[in-house]
Amino acid sequence: MDFYSKFVKRREILNSLLCVGIDPDVTKLPSHLEKFPDKLYVFSREIVDATAEYAVAYKPNIAFFEAFGSKGIEQFEKLISHIKTNHPEIPIVADAKRGDLDNTARQYAKFFFKELGVDSLTLSPYMGSDTIKPFIEDDSRMVFLLCLTSNPDSAELQQKTFSETGRTLYREVAALSEKFPAKNVGLVVGATHPKELLEIRKAHPDRIFLIPGYGAQGASLEEVISVCGKNSLVNSSRSIIFSSSGTDFAEKAGKAAASVTEQMRKLLG
């Protein structure tokens, strides 16, 4: 089943848009996990199993694994395998923010889509359309282009205006996405920009949005849901996965995911 079909099915079953971000910051892991040589995997696996009832998608961030070299990558691979084996109905968005020339892009695509078998990947579109095409040659896959991100300094580049078109860089990226099928290319739009989020949604109603910035980064769920539309994944990472630093961390994460899901259901109607 392709990413789009998985996403729509989970969204309709759960009446939710919750994407659970898996960011196993080693400085925040419960201390009792120190005894495990593969603690990143153990932590992430427990979070996944505790939240699977509520997750429309998972977004594991490879940076938290890459920091530990080959041992970290091995744990990332184990996590992807665990999700695919035990929760195959839940789409996986690998948060890797790749983007490079055609021949290099093909190698990234091979690793994430063929070797790991994830459903989707975040990309930087800075180098243009030809760097996106290799990732969607398999039309069952999805990529999310960094469009308007949630970090404070995103405006330094993303909100600069092109003199030729009068459009901001983020609007140019959103327009770029229209060169590709909506089932294959979506947009990353931060929850911390609700006005711009609504603007982009009105201009691109068919695009799937991946929306970071809700939860620990301070954006209001009510505000986000009111403007993003149902073609969205609203990501929550730290406020779910670090709900507890004790031995009950997975249980508390499950309860936090349940709470967010309940809020979303009320807002979605």
Active-site residue set: 97
Contacts of 156 (CB under 8 A, 6+ apart): none
Q: Which two tokens stand for residue 15?
A: 């009446």
Cβ 160 vs Cβ 169: under 8 Å: yes
Q: Which of 230, 209, 241, 183 is nearest to 122 (CA)?
A: 209
Cβ 254 vs Cβ 7: under 8 Å: no
**What are the CA-CA distances from residue 187 to residues 120, 128, 165 (Å)?**
12, 14, 20
**What are the CA-CA distances from residue 166 to residues 42, 46, 63, 157, 203 (Å)?**
49, 48, 35, 14, 15
Helix (H, G, I), strand (E, B) or coil at 120: strand
Cβ 256 vs Cβ 21: under 8 Å: no
**What is 170-211 written as a DSSP string?**
HHHHHHHHTTS-TTTEEEEE-TT-HHHHHHHHHH-TTSPEEE
Do the strands 120-123 and 142-148 form a parallel or antiparallel pair, or are they unpaired? parallel
